[in-house]
Amino acid sequence: MTKPATATATLTTFIDMLAAAGLQNHSMLCVGLDPEPAKFPTPLKGDASKIYDFCAAIVDATADLVMAFKPQIAYFAAHRAEEQLERLIAHIKRTAPQVPVILDAKRGDIGATSEQYAIEAFERYGADAVTLSPFMGFDSVAPYLKYHGKGAFLLCRTSNPGGGDLQNQRLASVDGTPLLYEYIAQLAQGPWNLNGQLGLVVGATYPAEIERVRALAPTLPLLIPGVGAQGGDAQATVKAGWRPGAPIVVNSSRAILYASSGDDFAAAARREALRTRDLLETARL
Amino acid sequence: MTKPATATATLTTFIDMLAAAGLQNHSMLCVGLDPEPAKFPTPLKGDASKIYDFCAAIVDATADLVMAFKPQIAYFAAHRAEEQLERLIAHIKRTAPQVPVILDAKRGDIGATSEQYAIEAFERYGADAVTLSPFMGFDSVAPYLKYHGKGAFLLCRTSNPGGGDLQNQRLASVDGTPLLYEYIAQLAQGPWNLNGQLGLVVGATYPAEIERVRALAPTLPLLIPGVGAQGGDAQATVKAGWRPGAPIVVNSSRAILYASSGDDFAAAARREALRTRDLLETARL
C-alpha cells in the first residue's frame, strides 16, 4: 500500500535539495547567473532580449555539474528583464528540477516590506532560497522563514574591498568581543534560526574568516562567492568551510559564463564548470 | 544674450530639488507609495493591474503638499508591476517635475552588482535618489555616487522591532565607542560623502536617536519613515532632526494612502497629507 518515495516527493526543503544535488552531481559548485549583454558572445552580444537564451544555454551545459544555480537579480532588473528571469527559473525547474535555485537579491527591509520581497522571491520567481542582508535585524528576516523549507542566506562576511568596513568592526557589548560578522554567524546558528532555514554568505577571499564562521556556525550551509574571477582559492575555501554534514555552496559566475566569447561559449562554460567542480571535490579528499 | 535661468535648468541635484520642493510646497512631508491591492478602495480593490491608477491618483491629490515621493519597489515587484512603477515615476516627472522621487530599494551589493542596481534606479526608473544598505561597505555605495547630483540615503538607525539588533551594537574599535549606527552617520557625513550626495535613513520612533544622528551628521538630509501608521510623533521628529540648512524628509505611507477605503480615497489622502504637512510645519516654528 505504501507508495515508493520518489526523489521529488521527499525533497521538501532547500537543505534537502542542496544535499541531494550535491550528491547526485558530486559537486559543491554553484553557477552564478549574472548576465551582462556586453560580454555575451556574438551574435547575442549587446542584446538584452537574449538574456534568457544566454543563461538557459549555460544552465543546459552545466546542470549535471552543479549543486545550485544562483541568478543575481540586479543583472536582470538593470535590463527590464524580470520576465526573462521568471522564464529562466521555470526552465531550471523543468529541465533540472533536482538543482535548487538561490535568488541572489540581498534584500533587507522592515517586516511588512520583507513580506513583499518574500512573495517576489518565493511565489513570483519560485526560488528555493534567497540571499538577505541582516542589517535591519530579525524582523527583517522573519517573513522569509514563514515559507517553511525555503532557504535564506544572510550576508555575514563579504570579501569585496569594503566588506570589512562594518563587518569587521569589533563589538564591545557581546561576550568575547566578537567582530560584527562573527556575531551575525552566532545569531544565524542560534536564536534567529527558528526552523533550520538559515545559511550564511561568506566570501572566498579570506579562508581564515571562512574557518572562523564555520566554527561559530558548525551546521549552517555557507554560500561562498568569489572563487574564479574574484580570485578566491578553491581548495583553501573547501578546507576552511566544508565539514561532513555542513555543506558549502561555492559560487563562480564570470569565469564560467564568459569562459569563451565565441559561439563555443556553452561548451567552454561546461569545461570551466567541470574543472572548478573537480578542483573543489579534490580538496574534499 | 544670457538666457534667464529656469527652475528646471538650475535644479541639477537631488539636494537642490529637495530644498526647492520643500520651499514651494512649505513641506517636509514625503508620501510613501507602498501599494497593497488588498487595501485599495472598491472598485480597485484586489486588482494589481490598478497599482498605477491608485498611486497616480494619490500623486495627483498630494503633489502640491509634499517635499518628495517615495515609491517602495518591493510592493511593485511582488505583483510583477515594474512597468507600472516606470509609468508612475514618469507620471510624477511629467505632472510634478519639481518633486523629487526617492526609490526605496535598500540595495547593497558588491561594486559590479551595485552598478547594475544603480542603472535600475537612475536610468531605468529615473529616480532622483535611492535608499541603500551600508552593510557591505563603501564600494557597495560608490557606484551610485558616480551619478552626480543623484541622492543616496544610507540606512542608519531603523525603528522596526529588530532595528537595534545590529545597529545598536557598541563598537570597541572606534574612538568614543559609538554604536554601529553612530559610526555609519560619521562615515556618511565624512569620508564616504565624496560629492555631497549622501543622506541617512533614521526611523521616527526614537527622537533621541534622530537627535544623535543629527549631531553626528549636521548637514545631511535625513529620511525619516515611521510617522503616521508606524506611530512616530511628528513634532518630536522635527525638533530632533530639522535644523536650518539640514533638511529632513518625513515619510508617511499607509496613513495617507489608506485614509479612506471608499471612492473618496484621493480626497481623504489629501486631507491626511495636509494635516501631516501642517503638523510638521508647525513644529518648525
- Predicted pLDDT of residue B2: 41
Say whether the ipTM exceeds 0.90. Answer: yes
pLDDT tens figures, B101-132: 999 999 999 999 999 999 999 999 999 999 99
Q: What gap in Å lies between CA B240 and CA B272, rounded to an integer?
A: 23
**Nearest in space to A108 (alpha carbons), one of B136, B171, B266, B172:** B136
Q: Give yes or no for residue B61 having a pLDDT over 70.
A: yes
Q: What chain B residue is nearest to A86 in terms of C-alpha separation?
A: B80
pLDDT attached to residue B126: 98
Residue B35 has pLDDT above 80, yes or no: yes
Confidence of residue B285 (pLDDT cuts 50, 70, 90): confident
Please give the order of strands across the beta sheet that includes B151-157.
Answer: B68-71, B29-33, B248-252, B222-224, B198-202, B151-157, B129-132, B102-107
Residue B278 Cα, gap to closest chain A Cα (Å): 27
pLDDT band at B11 (very low <50, low <70, confident <90, very high): low
Q: What is the pLDDT of residue B122?
A: 98
B173 in contact with A at a CB cutoff of 8 Å?
yes
The pLDDT of B85-114, averaged and rounded, is 98
**B107 interaction partners in chain A (CB closer than 8 Å):** 74, 106
pLDDT category of residue B3 using cuts at 50, 70 and 90: very low
Q: How confident is the model at residue B205 (pLDDT cuts 50, 70, 90)?
A: confident
Residue B180 with chain A: CB contacts under 8 Å:
166, 169, 180
Domains of chain B: 7-284 (3.20.20.70)
At residue B19's C-alpha, the angle toward residues B18 and B21, to 5°, is 65
The whole-number pLDDT of residue B231 equals 60
Tell me the chain A residues in contact with residue B141 when contact means C-beta distances shorter than 8 Å: 162
Does B176 score more than 50 pLDDT? Answer: yes
pLDDT attached to residue B232: 67
**Contact pairs from chain A to chain B, CB under 8 Å:** 174
What confidence tens digit (pLDDT) does each residue in B254-269 have?
Answer: 999 999 999 999 999 9
Does the pLDDT value for residue B10 go beyond 80? no
Say if residues A103 and A127 touch (Cβ distance below 8 Å): yes
From the list B45, B31, B16, B71, the residue with the least C-alpha distance to B228 is B31
Q: Does B194 contact A at CB distance below 8 Å?
A: no
**CB distance A48 to A79 below 8 Å:** yes
Q: What's the pTM?
A: 0.95
- What is the nearest CA distance from B187 to chain A, expressed in angstroms? 10
Pairing verdict, β B29-33 and A29-33: unpaired
CA distance B274 to chain A (A): 25
pLDDT over 50 (residue B213): yes
Q: pLDDT of chain A along its 285 residues, tens only?
A: 344 444 344 458 999 999 999 999 999 999 999 999 999 999 899 999 999 999 999 999 999 999 999 999 999 999 999 999 999 999 999 999 999 999 999 999 999 999 999 999 999 999 999 999 999 999 999 999 999 999 999 999 999 999 999 999 999 977 777 999 999 999 999 999 999 999 999 998 889 999 999 999 999 999 999 887 566 688 899 999 999 999 999 999 999 999 999 999 999 999 999 999 999 999 988
pLDDT at position B227 is 81
Share of chain B above pLDDT 90, in %: 88
Query: Which chain B residues in 26-85 lie under 8 Å from chain A, judged by CB atoms?
Result: 34, 72, 74-75, 77-78, 80, 82
pLDDT tens column, A72-111: 999 999 999 999 999 999 999 999 999 999 999 999 999 9
**Measured between alpha carbons, how far is A62 from A55 in angstroms, rounded to an integer?**
11
pLDDT given for residue A234 in this prediction: 85
Only one residue has cell 564560467, namely A256
Q: Does position B96 have pLDDT exceeding 60, yes or no? A: yes
